[in-house]
Amino acid sequence: MARFLHTKQLPGLERGTWRRLVLFCCAMAGFIYFLKAQLHQRAAGEKPFVTYLSTASGKKVDPLINVTSWGAPIVWGDREESQLRRMEFADKGVTTGLAVFVIGKYSHYLQKFIVSAERYFLEGQAVTYYILTDNLRGIPNLSLRTGRKLKALYIAERPEWVHLSRTRMSLLSSSIKEFIKNEVDYLFCMDVDQVFINRVGAEILGDLVATFHPVYFNRPHYTFPYETTLDSKAYVEDSEGDYYYTSELYGGLCSEIYELALLCSQFIIQDMEMSYHAFLFEESYLNRFFINKRPSRILSPEYSWWDAPETSNIQVKRILSLQRGCFQDSESKGANCYST
């Protein structure tokens, strides 16, 4: 048998030619594999790899992912990718809206919010602040940098937290439709009880942008507080969901945020028809939305953080939540150190 294998030749081709042919096929297969990998990485926009942060003592802490399984970049402001993104947007001339609700007693957060945004939010870029408020006279008179505007949109609203958590998405979608959509390219929505403490640049701009919740970042999927009531429009099955996102900051192209706000408001209205409101209010519906339509870019907890034992251990903090964590001011609603 061995002798047969050694001596067998197909008609017309010598053994040396066969060997070369096999080698050529292997080389071609390798080349095609390499090309496919390159194309995949290009489609993902960034090279998938994991890095580790070091603490001051040099001890390695949480592993930091740079890209999701579906190719969405995860934004860490000091990384090279973010620098490149800022350079890319430096001369593009895009306009970004920043929308916040300021109803009732939350007006006392507004000045601090705008002053810190003027210092750190999209520095050097055109920004329009949209203040959705029930109190036009409560808007502070602040001088803004060149290219930056503030527009107050009056909304007659009851200053009750639970009521607002049911109506904000529909108020947002109608404000985008009526006023905002023709004025800006991108729109970001934030809670007003936050403050910028570090640079937040064009690295955040993307088609549909979510932000990791600082408590659930790097935590296992089974800990995510998705909605568990089967009949709710926010319901998430155990097999669904990639990450848990915060409702304190999300954004993207104005058209995308319109779709987000409209769909979330429809979910909320449908749940209200059966007298139900999801466990974590808007955040539950937002997380459902981001399962149906995955974000194209995700901001790391640098962009939503508060000081508490439960939040992830990160080096740079850019946006702080004032009502959560251990630095609450005397006027905030809760008395304890941490709340979700």
Residue 316 CB, nearest distance to ligand UDP (Å)?
A: 22
Non-local (6+) Cβ contacts of 324 within 8 A are 306, 308, 338, 339, 340
Asked if 189 and 300 count as a contact pair (C-beta separation under 8 A), the reply is: no
Tokens at 257, concatenated: 């945020």
For residue 138, the partner it binds in Mn ion, ligand UDP, none, with Cβ less than 5 to 8 A by kind, is none
- Find how far residue 277's CA is from the centre of its chain: 23
Query: What b/e sequence results for 313-323 when a residue is b if at least 16 CB atoms lie within 10 Å of its CB, and e otherwise?
Result: ebebbbbbbbb
CA distances from 279 to 49, 194, 226, 276 (A): 35, 23, 8, 9
Asked if 118 and 128 count as a contact pair (C-beta separation under 8 A), the reply is: no
Of 75 and 189, nearer to ligand UDP (C-beta) is: 189
Task: Give the whole-angstrom CA distance, residue 312 versus residue 327.
Answer: 16
Q: Which of 100, 184, 254, 261 binds ligand UDP (CB under 6 A)?
A: 100
Contact status: 114 vs ligand UDP (CB under 6 A): no
Of 63 and 159, nearer to ligand UDP (C-beta) is: 159
Asked if 62 and 218 count as a contact pair (C-beta separation under 8 A), the reply is: yes
Q: Is 283 a catalytic residue?
A: yes
- How many chain residues interact with ligand UDP (CB under 6 A)? 14
Of 169 and 236, nearer to ligand UDP (C-beta) is: 169
Q: Strand, coil or helix: what is 47? A: coil
Contact status: 284 vs ligand UDP (CB under 6 A): no
Residue 110 CB, nearest distance to ligand UDP (Å)?
A: 9
Contact status: 93 vs ligand UDP (CB under 6 A): no
Contact status: 106 vs ligand UDP (CB under 6 A): yes
Q: Which of 203, 227, 256, 283 is catalytic?
A: 283
Q: Under rule CB under 6 A, which residues in 309-338 are in contact with ligand UDP?
A: 323
Helix (H) or strand (E) holding 320: strand 319-321
Instruction: Using CB positions, name the residue nearest to ligand UDP.
Output: 191
For residue 192, the partner it binds in ligand UDP, Mn ion, none, with Cβ less than 5 to 8 A by kind, is ligand UDP
Nearest to residue 125, comparing CAs of 201, 64, 216, 236? 201
Q: Which of 72, 99, 131, 164 binds ligand UDP (CB under 6 A)?
A: 164
Active site residues: 283
List contacts with ligand UDP (CB under 6 A). 100-104, 106, 159, 161, 164, 191-193, 248, 323
